[in-house]
Structure 1
Amino acid sequence: MSRASAALLLLAALGCRQQMREQARLDPYEEAPFFADDMEARRLPDGVVPRGQARLDRHLWQGRAADGSLVTVYPFAITRADLVRGEQRYAIHCTPCHGRLGEGDGLAVRRGYPAPIAFTAARLRDAPVGHIFEVISQGRATMPDYDHLEIHDRWRIVAWVQVLQLSQHAPAAVLGADDRTHLVEALP
């Protein structure tokens, strides 16, 4: 390739324009005299379908009933597989602070992180499931939010927390005959 050809090729390349990059546009929150309200950011028209997943089910997505109160029941039936998954997710995400049994004595706490309230505390044992879900989703005090967890996994963790609470504070009436006998024999 001769020098003249190379120079022509270089000039041709420099003459190319990337029109998409250089087209007129507005930056976010920039004034836009084209619109009557001079605002670049436009409201979505009524009836627009949201991109992604519509979060219309307050029970599932917020742990709240239609009237805004915290729910006391799960938004779906909890199965044994859900409990297994909840236990796994709890072990991964919650154990470092809350500990294996939910006593607030996890490894992070033993190394200086502020201790969370134990799940076995009376006020948490009596709390509606919506409260536990809300704290997992939004965080509270030193606990960060875990809204990055899949929505059903958050509910499964709530179910596992209730298993931990029940395992340490089950009323004798819910125990089977063998378990009640074992408890009586264990008493001093």
Structure 2
Amino acid sequence: MSRGDALVLLLGLAACQQKMRDQQRLDPLEPAMFFADDMEAQTLPAGVVPRGQARLDRHLWEGRTADGLLVATYPFTITRADLARGEQRYAIHCTPCHGRLGDGDGIAVLRGYPAPLPFTTPRLRDAPPGHLFDVVTHGRATMPDYDHLDVHDRWRIVAWVQVLQLSQHAPAAVLSADDRMHLVEARR
């Protein structure tokens, strides 16, 4: 680079400024004379729904019917991919307390955190998906809420919990004839 090129480059760099940093702007809760109430922070007009807040599908967002009852179905079809995602999210968020199989023997419990109910207790086995979703979303007893998780991921976790429950307490009627025969032989 020649001396002349370097001088042009230095002059060009000296001319650059961070005008966005220094521009006029309103800070939160600062007076703003061009609004009727002289405040920068304006309330939304009546009837306006804040972005991302139109949660009209109660089945999806609350696990409840229009009447407020807990739902017994999922708001979308659960696929193998959903179960894989549910298993992954369960491993991240739930195993520290609930353990890998939902027995309530996670590492946090081994270190003194109160043990949650095993998923195989009759009360939880018989609970509809809406109840499990409600617990995941809002927490219960010592369990924190997980409403910060994506709503679909919460439903996927519920589906994985039900897989864990079924894997440990599948009714014999859903087993193949060979599997039922194996159970009969194992009991002898």
* TM-score normalized with structure 2 length: 0.77
Q: What's the offset of the Cα at 1:63?
A: 0.6
Quote the residue 2:29 is aligned against: 27
Using the alignment, how far apart are the partners of 1:154 and 1:178 within structure 2? 35
The equivalent of 1:9 in structure 2 is: none
**3-state secondary structure, aligned to 2:117:** coil
Aligned residue type for 1:27: L
* Other-structure match for 1:141: 141
Q: Equivalent residues in 2 for 1:1-188 (5 A)?
A: 20=24, 27=29, 44-188=44-188
Q: 1:114 to 1:26 in 2, by over 3 A?
A: closer
**Residues of 2 paired with 1:119 and 1:65: CA distance?**
24
- The residue identity in structure 2 corresponding to 1:57 is D
Higher mean C-alpha deviation, range 177-186 or range 123-132 = 177-186
Residues 29-56 of structure 1, C-alpha deviation per residue, up to 9 Å, x if partnerless? x9xxx979xx998653333242125211
**1:57 deviation in Å?**
0.7
Q: Give per-residue Cα distances to partners, 1:42-92, cap 9 Å, x unaligned.
A: 653333242125211111011111000111100000111111111111111
Q: Give the number of equivalent residue pairs.
A: 165
User: How far apart in 1 are the matches of 2:53 and 2:65?
Assistant: 19
CA distance in 1, matches of 2:162, 2:28: 51
Q: Please give the secondary structure, in 1, of the residue aligned with 2:108.
A: helix
Q: Would the aligned equivalents of 2:71 and 2:128 in 1 still touch at CA under 8 Å?
A: yes
| Cα displacement (A) at 1:112 | 0.5
In structure 2, relative to structure 1, the CA distance for the partners of 1:174 and 1:25 (3 Å cut) is closer
Q: Secondary structure at the match of 1:157?
A: helix
Residue aligned with 2:46, SS: coil
Query: Aligned pair in 2 of structure 1 residues 25, 109: CA closer, same or farther (>3 Å)?
Result: closer
2:117 and 2:156 map into 1 onto residues whose CA distance is 20
Percent same amino acid among aligned pairs?
A: 76
* Equivalent position of 1:15 in the other structure: none
Superposition misfits of 4+ residues, deviation over 3 angstroms: 18-21, 24-28, 39-44
Q: What RMSD over aligned residues (CA atoms) do the two structures have, in Å? A: 2.6
Identify which range, 127-136 or 50-59, moves more after superposition.
Answer: 50-59
Distance in 1 separating the partners of 2:50 and 2:27 = 24
**Can you give the 5+ residue segments of structure 1 that lack an aligned partner in the other structure?**
1-17
Structure 1 length normalisation: TM-score?
A: 0.77
Equivalent-residue separation in structure 2 for 1:78 and 1:159 (angstroms): 8
